[in-house]
Amino acid sequence: MFSLFLIKNCYSISLPPYLERQNKIKNSFHLAWHGYKKCAQGHDFLKPRSCQGSDWLNLSLTLIDSLDTLYIMNFQNEFDEAVNYLESHFLEHALKNAKGPVFEMIIRVTGGLLSAYQLSGRKILLDIAYNFTSYLVPSFKTKTGLPLPHIDLLNEKQFSWAWHPRSTFLAHAGSLSLELMTLSQETGDNRFKEISDRIYEFFLNNRKQSICGLWPSRINFVTGLFSTFDVSFDAYSDSFYEYLLKTYIITNGCCKGCGTLYQEAIKGMKKILYRNNSKTQNPNYDDQHAYIGSIEQYKPLDNLTYLSFFVPGMVSLGSQYFNSLDLEMAEDIADTYADWHFGTNSGLMADSFFVENHTLFLIDKSYKLRPEFVESCFYLWRFTGDEHWRDIAWNIYISIENFCKTNHGYGELNNVEIPQLGINDIQDSYLLAETFKYLYLIFGDSSEIDLNKYVFTTEAHPLLHLKQSWLNDNYQNVNGYVLINTNEL
Ligand code: DMJ
């Protein structure tokens, strides 16, 4: 347990120039990639201590999740080798072995392949994305259009969690549109876009189930009824809100309904989840902080995880399209999250924690190499131009280097308060897809993955804004709602 405190301006002492920082981050990414290739190629993740592979979905996740980062960082040979490997191994292997959450398959595999295709123009990547994602289509043939959460490709079976039968999570149902719409645009096969349209139609038609514009985290995909009374921007809900905003952006405002739902959600966030004891409310109080809490069983209960640290980034992005004053709120929240990081002995933050009476209590004390906070720093840097966000990101990178590195890659730090307890033996693919990508881009030029042209998926795969001609052919807006063609559903 430790109290919240601010250490603003303490973390910008003699930093190396930006190009040098970018190169260091590039080298770190390369170590993680090389370790994966050497010890774990064909597997989902690297075990960075034992130099072995580890599997989860059986989809060579690190290979696919890393493709666009390899391309962006200019590792052309490594990129070509990875594409060749996929061309000869991927589909056959996937169809024999893949099993797991449809959500993860879409954000990591479909998104990773599409992004690498759009960046490189390598058609084989689109072909693999198309073939693979076609196998996921049956998961959406439910009464509501909401997905069955799991799939087993070998046995062509969809299934749900034993402990939550007939349920799917908000984030799992609502974080597919960017990938599926892009896939439809690129292939001309509208099955994917229609899946996404139907899901948003469900939410637009069920607004009476929302609580101040916010949605509970679990839904019955048969009845369409929500089965919990919790709201948050945390695990199981997080990227649903992110995709409302980003779908509005990628469709150039064509999905007006998504924009409306996003604005309603932010209004609800400010009303019931935004905790702020700073500035105007308490100008002399030392422990100034602002964060996004959660509600469980209709009561505030700020049991949170690291996943929720994406919120300042999302809110700052939203401030460019809707309420520009939200940028300041995003900065206040991000400053608190920076203080939480730099208040631990490692400069990294725990994976789960709760806040009570202005005091932070760490629960799961590990740092899992997650990207959410550097992602927020990236957006804040792009929208404010304030070096402060780069310095914070650099300090997090240095902590990752100091405490998580091995000879083969990076492992999750066991205890952010006692870094001497070392790391465990797993390097998740999002380290290469997201954490290192955002760190690299924050020290580059803003024209590199220009936010006026690209939207980052929740797995940090940049996808181009949809073409206006495709949008004109596929969408009409009536009263702010997207019309969909339901003939084939
Ligand atoms: C990533 O796989 C994605 O960002 C997802 O939306 C949730 N978080 C993990 C990384 O923490």
Look at ligand 1, atom 1, and give the residue with the nearest C-alpha: 459
Look at ligand 1, atom 10, and give the residue with the nearest C-alpha: 370
Coil, strand or helix at 355 = strand
Q: Across the chain, what does the average pLDDT equal?
A: 92
pLDDT at residue number 278 = 65
Is the C-beta atom of 193 inside 6 A of ligand 1? no
> Any idea what DSSP says for residue 141?
-
pLDDT at residue number 285 = 47
The tens digit of pLDDT for each residue in 291-323 reads 999 999 889 999 999 999 999 999 999 999 999
Whether the predicted pLDDT of 65 surpasses 70: yes
pLDDT at residue number 279 = 52
Nearest ligand 1 atom to the CA of 175 is 6
* Least-confidence region, from 34-38, 78-82, 358-362, 426-430: 358-362
Identify whether the C-beta of residue 106 lies closer than 8 Å to the C-beta of residue 176. yes
> Any idea what DSSP says for residue 407?
S
Cα–Cα distance measured from residue 162 to residue 149, given in angstroms and rounded to the nearest whole number: 11
Cα–Cα distance measured from residue 16 to residue 2, given in angstroms and rounded to the nearest whole number: 31
pLDDT at residue number 240 = 98
The tens digit of pLDDT for each residue in 459-488 reads 999 999 999 999 999 987 544 555 444 443
Is the C-beta atom of 458 inside 6 A of ligand 1? yes
Distance 471 CA to ligand 1 centre (A): 28
Is the C-beta atom of 437 inside 6 A of ligand 1? no
Is the C-beta atom of 408 inside 6 A of ligand 1? no
Residue 152 token pair: 């087993």
pLDDT at residue number 287 = 66
CA angle in degrees (0–180, nearest 5) for 162-168-169: 120
Within its chain, how far is the Cα of 308 from the centroid? 10
* Least-confidence region, from 86-100, 400-414, 462-476: 86-100
Is the C-beta atom of 153 inside 6 A of ligand 1? no
Q: DSSP letters of 113-143?
A: HHHHHHHH--HHHHHHHHHHHHTTGGGG-SS
Look at ligand 1, atom 8, and give the residue with the nearest C-alpha: 307
Cα–Cα distance measured from residue 129 to residue 85, given in angstroms and rounded to the nearest whole number: 15
pLDDT at residue number 7 = 41
In sign, the C-alpha dihedral spanning 442, 447, 448, 451 is positive
pLDDT at residue number 477 = 55
Whether the predicted pLDDT of 121 surpasses 90: yes
Residue of higher predicted confidence among 481 and 185: 185
User: Identity (one letter) of the amino acid at 157?
Assistant: K
